[in-house]
């Protein structure tokens, strides 16, 4: 069975709008390629039915019956892990940049000057900044984030062969944290994959998919809003119009910011880097 991956809005930056794959393994490779290009593509089979990355992984694993096919599966999954690591860290840095930007603070001050109360937003955003700082300053930021994303996408912990391949590619990497991040994500959900997932659609919308009721909760225009909605549902936290408004504001700011960075990059000028996270405090003793 063949597969089609659609890079919604990919034409904006020259990425192929569509990639076709003859096998599940090739489809995982195409999925990783889109992630490297900062797109989360919908996947369909030849019948037009939606296919999840977890389904691709399961099928590719079944067909990896000899040493050569298992080796290729390991290589493709390592490519996927490397791609999702960069994308997850980039999204976290971008979110932190927006939450610490001067424009964002000015918007809150203007809202308060007009008689509105931004106390709730300030409290929530302070918690989010602290959470992101913990990620950046911790011992295992990027691979740990990638491990959580692995579970969300593929529903199972990464095989040891993938960890070994990543470490063979770079002996200095801390790829072992990929599995730690995946196990922590599973533990956070009671040892099971998260109930809610984000499913992109060919029209560019992002749905929050409920695996228990087998239906889409709601569709959003921005992946970031769908992810925030998904995380709230999985954590049992409230999701109201007020939460949606906050995420919409953050995503609008982030979209403008990233669009400017890409424009500068295409024009050949030096791209503006996001606000760097706080530098870790120096401590005595060996490095981790």
Q: Per-residue pLDDT tens for 8-66?
A: 666 566 788 899 999 999 999 999 999 998 899 999 999 999 999 999 999 999 999 99
Checking if the pLDDT of 233 tops 90, the result is yes
Query: CA separation (Å) from 126 to 59, 91, 130, 253?
Result: 43, 18, 6, 17
pTM: 0.85
The burial class, CB within 10 Å (0-12 / 13-18 / 19+), for 184 is: middle
**Cβ pair 154, 194 in contact under 8 A:** no
Can you give the pLDDT at residue 117?
84
Checking if the pLDDT of 200 tops 60, the result is yes
Residue spans per domain, the chain: 1-63, 195-269
pLDDT, tens only, 172-181: 889 999 999 9
278 token code pair: 């706080």
pLDDT, tens only, 101-151: 988 888 888 888 888 888 999 999 999 999 899 888 876 679 999 999 999
Q: How confident is the model at residue 284 (pLDDT cuts 50, 70, 90)?
A: very low
Checking if the pLDDT of 224 tops 70, the result is yes
pLDDT greater at residue 169 or residue 273: 169
pLDDT, tens only, 25-39: 999 999 999 999 889
**pLDDT > 70: percent of the chain:** 88
Classify residue 86 as left (phi > 0), alpha (psi -120 to 50) or beta: alpha
Average pLDDT, the chain: 87
* Calpha distance 37→203 (Å, rounded): 18
Alpha-carbon torsion (28, 32, 37, 39), positive or negative: positive
Can you give the pLDDT at residue 13?
65
Checking if the pLDDT of 264 tops 80, the result is no
pLDDT, tens only, 159-171: 999 999 999 999 9
* Calpha distance 237→54 (Å, rounded): 26
169 token code pair: 């590619």
Q: How confident is the model at residue 282 (pLDDT cuts 50, 70, 90)?
A: very low
User: Mean pLDDT: which of 39-43, 200-204, 255-259 is highest?
Assistant: 39-43
176 token code pair: 């072992």
The rounded Cα 232 to chain-centroid distance in angstroms is 15
Mean pLDDT of all residues in 203-222: 91
* Calpha distance 144→69 (Å, rounded): 28
pLDDT, tens only, 69-109: 999 999 999 999 999 999 999 999 999 999 999 888 888 88
* Calpha distance 182→187 (Å, rounded): 9
């Amino acid at each position: 069975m063949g597969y089609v991956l659609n890079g919604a809005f990919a034409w904006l930056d020259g990425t192929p709008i569509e990639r076709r794959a003859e096998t599940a393994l090739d489809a995982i490779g195409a999925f990783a390629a889109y992630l490297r290009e900062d797109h989360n593509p919908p996947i369909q089979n030849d019948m037009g039915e939606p296919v999840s990355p977890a389904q691709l992984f399961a099928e590719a694993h079944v067909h990896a019956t000899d040493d050569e096919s298992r080796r290729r599966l390991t290589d493709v999954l390592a490519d996927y892990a490397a791609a999702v690591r960069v994308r997850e860290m980039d999204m976290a840095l971008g979110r932190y940049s927006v939450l610490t930007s001067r424009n964002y603070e000015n918007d809150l001050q203007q809202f308060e000057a007009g008689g509105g109360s931004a106390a709730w937003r300030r409290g929530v955003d302070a918690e989010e900044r602290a959470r992101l700082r913990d990620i950046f300053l911790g011992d295992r930021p990027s691979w740990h984030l990638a491990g959580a994303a692995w579970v969300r996408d593929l529903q199972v912990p990464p095989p040891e062969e993938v960890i070994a391949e990543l470490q063979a590619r770079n002996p200095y990497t801390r790829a072992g944290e990929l599995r730690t991040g995946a196990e922590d994500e599973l533990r956070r959900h009671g040892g099971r994959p998260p109930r809610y997932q984000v499913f992109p659609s060919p029209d560019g919308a992002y749905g929050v998919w409920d695996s228990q009721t087998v239906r889409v909760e709601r569709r959003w225009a921005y992946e970031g809003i769908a992810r925030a909605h998904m995380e709230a549902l999985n954590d049992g936290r409230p999701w109201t119009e007020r939460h949606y408004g906050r995420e919409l504001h953050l995503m609008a700011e982030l979209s403008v910011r990233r669009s400017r960075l890409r424009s500068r990059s295409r024009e050949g000028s030096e791209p503006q880097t996001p606000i760097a996270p706080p530098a870790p405090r120096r401590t005595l003793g060996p490095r981790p």
